[in-house]
Structures are given as structure tokens and as C-alpha cells.
Homo-oligomer: A and B are copies of this chain.
Amino acid sequence: MARIVMKFGGTSVADIDRIHNVARHVKRETDAGHEVAVVVSAMSGKTNELVGWAQAMPRATGAESPFFDAREYDAIVASGEQVTSGLLAIALQSMGVDARSWQGWQIPIRTDNAHGAARIEDIDGSEIVRRMGTGQVAVVAGFQGIGPDNRIATLGRGGSDTSAVAVAAAVKADRCDIYTDVDGVYTTDPRIEPKARRLPKISFEEMLEMASLGAKVLQVRSVELAMVHKVRTFVRSSFEDPDAPGMGDFDNPPGTLICDEDEIVEQQVVTGIAYAKDEAQISLRRVADRPGVSAGIFGPLAEANINVDMIVQNISEDGSRTDMTFTVPSGDLEKAVSVLEKVRETIGFDAIQSEAGLVKVSVIGIGMRSHAGVAAIAFKALAEKGINIRAITTSEIKISILIDGPYAELAVRTLHSVYGLDKQ
């Protein structure tokens, strides 16, 4: 007997029939004797509808400012998960499974006061654990908690993953199963490389790089939280038949386990290839090379809420001037250039060059730490395909390479193959 937290996202609870399907997944686990808490998102589309209303309201009044009170936004938007939690509890009860819904304020899930993007500070899991002992399933409304002001606080989009991991940590669950519309984490995007394989296991650190680099399986924050609290997190499909062979195999179900690297016996050098499209590159030519110049460039960009990613700095020949290259999301390029033009005098540079529509391809693997030459293999492979490398950044477990947009798929497939990821 184990204790499991099961999380179901918006597409998995999109309508009455799909909620019934979720209830079947839950019943399979309770029938097997496991203690279960479930975390649910809003029915897909509902959150967008509610957010749309909250945003439309100031405009409808003719207000000059489009801003709204984040505390009211939270009260409005959190209602979506409230509905799903009640419906799933009813579904489970109808199938003979004891269940009750829990809103964030009832447990309580205590958050900080950052309404709209709150962080969970504490969860009192005692009552849920006590009831699990009697066989009752807790159906927890995801994405929400209660702030120090005694008002509903939401965790930001995708926050239900974070809720699930936090609840799993609070009730000391053996595993947190994230049911989603994909059946696991792959070596790369299968839509680009059909030979991509599902990983049976991936370490927290690697998953963090995969998640933040554009593999949209899990929220980055939820992986961070899982890593900190060592919550074994399992990504699996909610769309498979709940009673298909193997689905109820607790020790070896279909999906990908995100876990501590110690648990991964046969460590691969490279685990996966991720990519992020719509990157833009900005180069500042002949920047005065003196202390404080980086702050002069990146301070104003941060203030304008522009997320700067890869940064490469080359010393110029005479050593007094430097070229500074970095990337921003393509959508922010125009704003970034205009911000930089304004501080041109203060910083002192000759020219701004920019290009949008680029792609960042990343090679990820915890084994890189102990293997040399991993990067060289990538550079050679891309060169052989005639793919020009615009910039490179590296970390302990990842190499990121900026290339021209049209080469994205070719680069992903080339790297996937050169590291042997397409072989069992």
C-alpha cells in the first residue's frame, strides 16, 4: 500500500465524461488499496473565460487604466478549480469511492500575499492524512491557496502542478502522479523526431532544464519544488484507458519518473534535446569596456520586464571596446531595441544589430559533468550539416546553441542522433 497524489490538468477534466474517466483512474488506485489525494485544474477553457471577464471589466467601465485588483482576479479565477473539485468528488461518490472536495482555504494551503502569482508557504496536511487513513479521497482544488489577508490567492498559470507537488510533500506521499495529455518525457519533441524515445527516468536537474527550455510537460516551479522536497514525480497520460494493462502497476506504470539522480542507475551522458523557438538576438557593437557597463545594459531591460537569456561578450582587438550579444523573446525585440536606444548615450556603443526568428537548441545530460568533449561532438555534427552557430552558452549539465530558425528541425534530429538517443 502506498500514498499517492494524482494531478489532472484542464484537458483531462474538460467535461463531464472526462471527469468520469479521471474518477476511474482514481478508483483503480483506491481499489488497489492505496491512499489517494487528487489535485485538479479548472475544466479547460474555463480559466480563460474567467480571466477574459476580469480583463474586460475595467474596459467596460471606460476606465483609463486596464489594471485590476489581483485579489479580485484571484477570487474570480479560483472558482474554476472549485467547480471541478466538487464534480470529481460527486463522480467518485457515485462510483462508491468515499471522497470530499477541499478548497485551498479549507485545508488550508497558506501562501504569501503575491496575488495572481502567489507562492505556497505552508500546507497543513494533517486532516487529509487522517481521512486518507479511513479510505477517504481528498479532492483538492489546484492553483490556489489562502493569503495572509484571508483572501484566495492563485499561484499563476499552470500552478496546479505546483499545488500537486506541494500537497505530495505535505502528506509525505510516496509519489506524485501528474496525469497530462502526453504519456511521459521524451528524449526530444516526437513531432520533430519520430525516433524520440520516452525516458523511463530523468533527474530533477535535467527535467528543470527540459522544462525551462521549452518542453512543456511540467511547470518549472513544480519541478523546483519537487527537487527541494525530493518528491518523486511521475508524468503519465490521462487519456489512456484507466484499466489498460499495466496502468495499475504501481512499481512500473507507463510514463516517466522524475527523481533524484541517485535513483537513476544507468546514467546517460546526454538525456535529451530541447529547443525554444522565437528567440531574437541583439548585438551591441563596440561597447565601452568599463565597470558597470553590463548593469547599464541589462538593468533597463529588466525594468522593462524583458527576459534576457543567452549573454555572450567578446573582447575587441584593442581591449578598450567590446561586442555584447544576447537573446530575448522575439515578441520583446522591438521594445528591447527602443529601451537600448534610450540609454545609448549613457552606455556608449557604436551600433545595435538585431535579428528575430532564431532558435535555441539545447543538449541536456547530467552525465556531462563527468564526460569531456560532449560539446565538441555537437559543434562538429552541426558543422557537417552546414548549420551556422550564432552563440553558445553552457552550464554544468547543458549546452545551448543559437541557430537560424529554418535549421531548427534539422539541428534537433542531428543532435538526437549523434548522441545515440534514437537507439534503445
Is B83 within 8 A of A20, CB to CB?
no
A84 to chain B, nearest CB (A): 9
What per-residue 1/0 map shows which CB atoms of A30-53 lie under 8 Å from chain B? 000000000000000000001001
Q: Which of B65, B71, B85, B87 contacts A53 (CB 8 A)?
A: B87
A79 CB to nearest B CB, Å: 4
Verify A58–B94 contact, CB threshold 8 A. yes
Q: When A and B form their complex, which 4 residue pairs have the shortest distance between CB atoms, in order from nearest?
A: A63-B94, A76-B86, A79-B79, A75-B86
A91 to B73 CA separation, bound complex (whole angstroms): 12
CB distance from A389 to the nearest CB of B (A): 49
Query: Quick check: A82 and B85 within 8 Å, CB to CB?
Result: no
Nearest-neighbour CB distance to chain B for A290, whole angstroms, equals: 47
Q: Is the CB of A106 within 8 A of B151?
A: yes
Q: Could you say which of B16, B68, B100, B150 contacts A90, with CB atoms under 8 Å apart?
A: B68
Contacts of A105 in B (CB 8 A): 105
Complex CA–CA separation, A55 to B240 (angstroms): 26
A72 surroundings in chain B (CB, below 8 A) = 86-87, 89-90, 93, 100-101
Check if A60 sits within 8 Å of B100, measured CB to CB.
no
Residue numbers of A with Cβ under 8 A of B are 16-17, 19-20, 23, 50, 53-54, 56-58, 60-61, 63, 65, 68-69, 71-73, 75-76, 78-80, 82-83, 85-87, 89-91, 93-95, 100-101, 103, 105-106, 150-152
A151 neighbours in B (Cβ, 8 Å): 106
Q: How far is the CB of A231 from chain B (nearest CB, A)?
A: 27
State the CA gap A56–B101 with chains docked (Å): 18
A23-B61, A68-B90, A75-B103 known; 19 other A-B pairs, CB under 8 Å? A16-B60, A17-B60, A19-B57, A19-B60, A50-B83, A54-B86, A57-B87, A58-B90, A63-B94, A65-B94, A69-B89, A69-B93, A72-B87, A72-B89, A72-B93, A75-B85, A75-B86, A82-B82, A106-B151
A91 cross-chain contacts in B, Cβ below 8 A: 57-58, 60-61
A150 and B106 contact, CB distance less than 8 A: yes
Chain B residue, CB-CB nearest to A93 = B69
What are 13 A-B pairs with beta-carbon distances under 8 A?
A: A20-B61, A50-B83, A57-B87, A69-B90, A72-B89, A72-B93, A73-B86, A73-B90, A75-B103, A76-B87, A79-B82, A105-B105, A106-B151
Taking the closest CB of chain B, its distance from the CB of A309, in whole angstroms, is 34
Residue of B nearest to A103 (CB): B75
* Residues of chain B contacted by A17 (CB below 8 angstroms): 60
CB A416 to nearest CB in B, in angstroms, measures 42
CA distance A73 to B93 in the complex (A): 12
User: Would you call B56 and A16 a contact (CB within 8 A)?
Assistant: yes
List chain B residues, Cβ under 8 A from A87: 53-54, 57, 72, 76
* Bound: A79/B151 CA distance, A: 15
CB distance from A45 to the nearest CB of B (A): 13
